[in-house]
A = this chain, B = another copy of it.
């Protein structure tokens, strides 16, 4: 079963292991081709629409790079502000931007219970438009971050791990700590930690999720991670101390997020347009955060990890103590030591997105890669 071709990429846990491996493989091949000056352009013309309902620099760039690599032109649909729109507006807009479109990338990560739902609404509208002969093709949707998952990030992370440790096989039994970390900011999405635990748990890793009490993730997704771990003969556990959990860790991913309960309340207040309530919530949440400034990943903690040199990961930008803020997620020393590694990690994202696009549009993407190699056109003269 091909669950990539003409299927939206919305959540990693909806995709088979084979599908995920195909994405990794395609991403690596595309990177290799480009590095060797072979152009994997498969579209002569065509549009890739991006819908960003939250600010973004690097995901915007990654999406643009991926589209360009394959020959698609990006057209941004800029909705003035993050908003919760449904119904006819979504249905109509989805069709209006799709008459000559191959791919739609969507980022909608601000509202719990809304982002992924919005993507599915867009998808249903596209299904109808295609079925009714209004659209010549059904554009594929790529989730560029929602309230539940951030699949282009987590798969770039996985590719980084695969390359770092040599293979997916080598990840079996590795201990990875996905830990909350202190940040002086408020309202960071939950999709990165959720995406990481739900994905890494499928490859036999020992997942340690750590956060101060009160900083829960969406319970259903934690359950998915737990079930995945069991199935893949890995393990999954939750802890409330970064210090304890990093012991002997192979990988540490310290990253701030907002508590599930706060995000839920925030979504309700936003729907009710309760400005006063939102201000109060923000103050309260920052106060709650401030009790956990000791959740910083630093040299002292790094020393406790396996051989004192676990792989540090981050989706960037990190809140670096003394650099981007007074107290943050990671000490300046630790970050500097792994800085280039985090750049490398980020560098896989454009190729992961391109792989998703390719696999959505072509039934046999590996054969497409072969054709590309055979025709052998230079990317640059």
Contact = CB atoms under 8 A, between A and B. Distances in A.
A58 B39 CA distance: 31
A148 interface: no
A101 B65 CA distance: 8
B92 A316 contact: yes
A347 interface: yes
Given A57-B93, A69-B100, A35 B136 contact: yes
A136 to B, nearest CB: 5
Nearest to A61: B97
A326 interface: no
A340 interface: yes
A186 B88 CA distance: 22
Given A57-B77, A317-B92, A68 B42 contact: no
Contact of A381 (B34, B42, B129, B136): B42
A44 B378 contact: yes
Interface in A59-118: 60-62, 64-65, 68-69, 71, 73-75, 77, 87-89, 92-93, 95-97, 99-102
B68 A73 contact: yes
A257 B99 CA distance: 27
Nearest to A97: B61
| A contacts with B: majority SS | mixed
Contact of A350 (B99, B361, B371): B99
B35 A44 contact: no
Contacts of A61: 49, 75, 77, 96-97
A88 B57 contact: no
A123 to B, nearest CB: 16
Contact of A88 (B43, B65, B93, B324): B324
A377 B47 CA distance: 18
A368 interface: yes
A344 interface: yes
B381 A347 contact: no
Given A64-B75, A88-B320, A134 B45 contact: no
Interface in A325-381: 340, 343-344, 346-347, 350, 361-362, 368, 371-372, 377-381
A173 interface: no
Contact of A380 (B62, B69, B129, B361): B361
Contacts of A323: 87-88
Nearest to A348: B99
A41 interface: yes
20 contacts: A41-B44, A44-B379, A49-B61, A57-B77, A57-B96, A58-B97, A64-B75, A65-B75, A65-B100, A69-B100, A87-B323, A88-B320, A88-B324, A95-B346, A95-B347, A99-B346, A99-B350, A132-B340, A134-B347, A372-B381
Given A99-B347, A135-B347, 12 more contacts: A41-B45, A45-B69, A47-B68, A61-B77, A65-B101, A74-B75, A89-B324, A92-B316, A99-B346, A102-B380, A129-B343, A361-B380
Interface of A: 34-35, 39, 41-47, 49, 57-58, 60-62, 64-65, 68-69, 71, 73-75, 77, 87-89, 92-93, 95-97, 99-102, 128-129, 132-136, 316-317, 320, 323-324, 340, 343-344, 346-347, 350, 361-362, 368, 371-372, 377-381
